[in-house]
Structure 1
Amino acid sequence: MTGWQWVKLVGNFLNLSSVAGVLVGTLGRARLSRGPRGLFFATGYRLGFPVAGAFTIGNVVLSKHERSYFDDAALLRHEERHSWQYFCLFGLPMLPLYGVGVVISFLLTGDPASRNPFERLANLQDGGYVEHPVQPLGKTVTQAFSVLRSRPKGP
């Protein structure tokens, strides 16, 4: 680990974002292990939210997948960039700000990542995202309603 990665590791524990990541991993019955670059992996995460291959809280990268999922160097860089975002935003304020980014991106493109500044700064392609173009708001609303209508009804 570099000196700056140590600073981020300690900072994200002090700002409680990594503590929150461990708590969320525990609630999701994930297995915690130490990873490279000051990261920790919480694999086998079982909760259905958020819907993502992986997501980061502090220095904890959570995923429903096994540890080998992070053998992809680009994905690992993407998730580490998110851990830096927690550090730079003093921890947990990242969560509501990220949520605002999701809403703005969805309204602009119909996709939660394409115009989300946090995903763009973490490099969309490294995270496995496909960039969608900005579209008229009416098209986004129509897409959202068609998805809602296509969901199965009942228990």
Structure 2
Amino acid sequence: MTGWQWVKLVGNFVNLSTLAGFVVAKIGRARVTRGPRGLFFANGYRVGFPVAGAFTIGNVVLSKHEVSYFADELLVKHEERHSWQYFCLLGLPMLPLYVVGVVVSWLLTGDPASRNPFERMASLKDGGYVERPVQPIGRTVAQAVSALRSRPRGPSGP
């Protein structure tokens, strides 16, 4: 680990974001192991939210997948960049700001990552995202309505 990665590790403990990541890992019954670059991997996360291959809280990278999922060095770098975002935003304020980024990106492109500044700064490509073009909001809303209508309904669904 570099000196700066040590600073980030300590800073994200102090700002409570890494501790929050451990709490979420515990709630999701994930197995926590030490990873590279000052990160902790929480694998086997069992809660269905958020819908993502991996997500980061502080220095904790949570995933429903096994630890081998993080064999991709670019994905690890992507998630480490998110841990830097927590450090720079003094911890948990990152969460509501990230949600705003998701909403804005979805309205502009129909995709939660393409115009989300946090995903763009972490490298869309490294995170496995495909950049979608900006489109009229009416098209985004029509796509959402169409997706809702085509969802299978449960036995007691409307």
- What's the TM-score once normalised by structure 2's chain length? 0.97
CA deviation string 1:14-66 (max 9, x = no partner): 10000000000000000000000000000000000000000000000000000
Find the residue that maps to 2:139 and give its secondary structure: helix
Tell me which amino acid in the other structure corresponds to 1:103.
Answer: V
Find the residue that maps to 1:82 and give its secondary structure: helix
**Residue of structure 2 equivalent to 1:93:** 93
**Residue of structure 1 equivalent to 2:78:** 78
Question: 1:150 & 1:33 partners in 2: Cα distance?
Answer: 40
Name the count of aligned residue pairs.
Answer: 155
Cα RMSD of the aligned pairs, angstroms, is: 0.6
**Residue of structure 2 equivalent to 1:123:** 123
Percent identity at matched positions?
A: 79
Find the residue that maps to 1:38 and give its secondary structure: coil
Which ranges of structure 1 fall in alignment gaps of 5 or more residues? Answer: none
**Residue of structure 1 equivalent to 2:143:** 143
Tell me which amino acid in the other structure corresponds to 1:75.
Answer: L
Shift of 1:150: 1.4
Shift of 1:127: 0.1
**Residue of structure 1 equivalent to 2:106:** 106
Question: 1:28 & 1:85 partners in 2: Cα distance?
Answer: 23
Question: 2:149 & 2:19 partners in 1: Cα distance?
Answer: 39
**Residue of structure 2 equivalent to 1:36:** 36
